[in-house]
């Protein structure tokens, strides 16, 4: 059984979560946690929790992806996978267009205003439909909601751990 070291785990991207067993042949419902659900069909192996598993079959069913893993041929064994996350190496992450970022890269960034004053840290990315909203914890402990719009977010520097925003007054003054 292949296991991941803690440092290797940080270089991984979560693409799904194992749900309930499906049928009697060891298939598991996978809840996709990626915008690129077509990627599951071409996968030969995937980390499930800290185990490397080989994909025996994959098909799409309603909002789920049904996967069967060679190492878990029986329903009762496969049920132990429920709740585990499916991850791929960061190098296998779906390529992004210019100006697009992975959610896991945005979380943890320190937010500054255009004058260089620290406003807080991003804790979550909310998907609202029209545009994402970066949910940040203010330095005073309050909450700051930052619309992910070019007019507001002036710079995202993943390597430097920074986000620079130009918040409209009516948003930034509301605490």
pLDDT digits (tens, 9 = 90+) for 12-42: 888 899 999 999 889 999 998 887 888 899 9
The per-residue pLDDT for 46 is 93
The per-residue pLDDT for 175 is 47
Q: How far apart are CA 63 and CA 37, in angstroms?
A: 10
165 vs 107, more confident: 165
Domain 12-89: CATH superfamily, name plus number: RimM (2.40.30.60)
Region of 174 (left: φ > 0; alpha: ψ -120 to 50; beta: rest) is beta
The per-residue pLDDT for 7 is 45
Query: Under a CB-based contact definition with an 8 Å cutoff, are residues 54 and 46 in contact?
Result: no
Q: What is the pTM of this model?
A: 0.60
Per-residue pLDDT at 117 exceeds 60 = yes
pLDDT in tens, 58-110: 999 998 999 999 999 999 999 999 999 998 888 887 777 777 787 878 889 99
Domain boundaries, the chain: 12-89, 103-165
> How many Cβ atoms are within 10 Å of 43's Cβ, its own excluded?
17
72 vs 126, more confident: 72
- Architecture of domain 103-165 in CATH? Roll (2.30)
Q: How far apart are CA 81 and CA 83, in angstroms?
A: 6
Q: How far apart are CA 29 and CA 122, in angstroms?
A: 31
Q: How far apart are CA 2 and CA 128, in angstroms?
A: 38
Q: Please give the radius of gyration of the chain, using alpha carbons only, rounded to the nearest integer.
A: 20
The per-residue pLDDT for 88 is 86
How far is CA 158 from each of CA 55, 100, 104, 115, 163, rounded to the nearest angstrom? 33, 11, 10, 19, 8
């Amino acid at each position: 059984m292949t296991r991941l070291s803690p440092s290797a785990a940080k270089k991984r991207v979560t693409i799904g979560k194992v749900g309930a067993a499906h049928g009697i042949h060891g298939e598991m419902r996978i809840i996709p946690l990626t915008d690129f659900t077509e990627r599951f069909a071409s996968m030969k192996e995937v980390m499930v929790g800290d185990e490397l598993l080989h994909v025996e079959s994959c098909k799409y069913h309603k909002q789920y992806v049904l996967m069967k893993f060679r190492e878990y041929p029986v329903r009762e064994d496969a049920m132990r996978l429920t709740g585990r996350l499916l991850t791929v190496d960061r190098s296998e992450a779906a390529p992004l267009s210019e100006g697009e970022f992975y959610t896991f890269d945005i979380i943890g960034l320190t937010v500054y205003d255009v004058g260089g004053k620290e406003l807080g840290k991003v804790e979550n990315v909310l998907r609202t439909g029209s545009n994402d909203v970066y949910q940040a914890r203010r330095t005073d402990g309050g909450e700051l909601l930052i619309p992910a719009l070019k007019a507001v977010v002036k710079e995202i520097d993943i390597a430097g751990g920074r986000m620079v925003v130009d918040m409209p007054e009516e948003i930034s003054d509301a605490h």
